[in-house]
Structure 1
Amino acid sequence: MSVRRFVLGCALAGACTGIQPVLEDMPEVVAEDEDVPGGRSLHGRPLQLAAVTDTWVNLTVLADGMIAVHGPGVLALAPAGFGQLETKPAWLREWPQWPGAMGGRWPDDVFVTAQWALTRTGVEFAVWRWRNRAWAKWRIPGAPLRFDFYSDYAVGHDGAILGLRGFAGPGIGEDPDVLRAMQARDPDLRTTIDVLAGGGPPPWPPLPPGREGLQLAAFADGTMVVLRRESSLQRWSPGAGEWADLPALPGHAPGVNGGESAVMVGRDPARLYVHRCVEKDRPVLERLTAGAWRPVALPPGGCVRSLAEAPDGTLWLVNDRGLYRRAPGSDSAPWEEVPLAPVDAPGKPVATLDGSPLPPQGPEPVRARQVVALDRGEVWVVAELGSGDGGSSREVVLTNRTVLAPLVLRSAGRSPGG
């Protein structure tokens, strides 16, 4: 099972009422001489070690541009544009065990979706929200239990925090047509986009009945696109009375790795990218332009693990062979490999309880797993640390932002710190 599939199956987020977090819960901004907001470009700067963890983590860009590094027992934050990653024990109070999708604006309106329980009928998800200086489980008002979580989060063009209310889709033996009929009778059983904070009543119409929503993209002009199970995409444009189906992805079944759907990436609704593996180790990348999907050449390697588009149109890609970059321009432009130098990460364990081998002394190889691209050429990467033989769960976070000292982030049960 891929990390993305596992994480989607292991998390989602929530809210309740209470007092505002006190000043100690706010991240401190560390002044730096080199990283000045709004000016200096980070293009071409080497990646540096920002953090090392003893578990898997994911990167999320929050609504205000803050960078969140989050995983089991781990939460670290870096201010938008410049400054250091920081973590505090207070931020992990009641942090869900298996966090997944994250979104919102720190600290007042941050939501996390997480696995809540494993039952005879499958995995149950719930939403947590930061309140009363701790994370609290939150019920979506009026949502049936099976629909009581968000599968993705986005920021509207007006700054509103949006949640894509997912649901545990049809299981083995359940007929999708029966689900659609149920949704037609009861709109509460549909995939829904909720305004969670900072916005007025939604101007968009309800989504049509169908499979669960997996991804939500909101754009500067107010357009929204939803990716649903079985790789169908629907778009709403401001002023439209209904959602429009985007062209079907050409001639390929949904991805095969555990039945994964496609993954949607893009900063412009007229230039969306979708990647998937149409069969084992056979990746496909397509771009929506002029109302049609067009193939985009890929670098050598297996399935795409992560894809990001920078504001200037530069594409960053991670596959089984490494990290790649492609300059803005033609879809046939060549990809440039971005080698990752071995890392001598601090915080190596001095003993293991299960008898597994200790990591070697000195620098260790890294393998990119996730990439995030921001403005000014800023890049963040999550990479697996070690030889890739499955004997290590440690990961590192790399960035071309100036790093004064890397954090050592220890998962639940150990003290987080640097």
Structure 2
Amino acid sequence: MPGAFPCGHSPSSSEETHMYDHRKLGRELGLFDTDPLIGSGLPYWLPDGAIVRHSLEEYIRAVERRAGYRHVYSPVLGKRELYEISGHWSHYSDDMYPAMDLGGEQVVLRPSLCPHHAVIYRSRSHSYRELPLRLAELGGMYRSELSGVLGGLTRVRCIQLNDAHIFCTLEQVADEAAAALDLIAAAYRAMGITASRYRLSLPGPGGKYIAAPEKWQRSIKLLTEVLDRSGLPYESADGEAAFYGPKIDIQVVDHAGREATLSTVQIDFHQPEQFDLHYIGADGAKHRPVMVHRSIIGSVERAVAQLIEVHGGAFPAWLAPVQVVVLPISETEEAAAARLAENCSDAGLRVAVIGAEAGSLGARIRENRSVPYQFVLGPAETANGAVAVRLRDGRRLPAQPAPEAVDRVRALVETHDTRLWAD
């Protein structure tokens, strides 16, 4: 049945603060699963889960294109030397998979995309007129997580990260970091989720971090200015920075009150120097760019986990695996139902027809109550080219012309509106 809740349950307004365990509900909804033969921390996506994931990916790519990002693809493997240069091998190797011998070389499953993007930037010469250059990728990366911390989609060993790296001048850094925060806020509104807090993640004691006090001070000062300018409340946390620089972490909480980082904005003076990146300035001389790392929706896995926990399977319409279910009252209306479903599909909507053979109308309505829109067709609607619309929240709208109903739903979906209906 399309997108049904366990036991036919749908969240009511009085339950909107309730959180769901995505590990249990995600499997019950047929979104993802795991298998011992594939391995721990390596979930696979079922068809409905793949739809949610594709919708998120399409959304964020479109958002990035409009914001001036250029998308790239890079390999999930790299030579060990790549990560020695970036600093990952000396500062992050405990979280990396062992190097593999391949054709006389050692290669590593990448733990991060930033070294690849630094190499992509370095492959061409750049002028100050091209900056900021924003390179984005929805790419795989791999973390050697211990089995004891793995769970559902929040802690996995293979991550699809919505990553980007902005190469810019020092004068552009603050504006680029602030713009990334704006994109994060817009994405959270579209997904219907809320940050639990903003964290300025700073270095702590020990050898985990690069020894470059001046770079740390400059980065921390810039990120603090960005946060202060944004007006967002935030807390500082020692020991939570990346090994190469501080970051702004946008935190979310799960059903058990556990906190995790979903989105980040980071400022990096280290890797541009390590990879000898430069651009030609207005003076004709070489200058070092600054690298801004940012992830708007974080990893797809963790984003979907948060969506399940917050919405309980009742996703915003643009993310719902099935957006419209057409319910003919009897066999007499099934031809009209098929035509209406085709019109929905032509409008880009995900639609299913549940005919009378599946049970009474009341039973079909209950079984599909998690679908955002139910289009009911009886003799009167069919005769008048109309449809009776039921919304997931229980509202029943007056019969209206079928093309008008389709257009309204399409508009809400295309604009990633979290409202079910706009008057």
Which has the larger share of helix? 2
TM-score, normalised to structure 1's length?
Answer: 0.24
Which structure has the bigger radius of gyration?
A: 2
Structure in which a larger fraction of residues adopt strand: 1
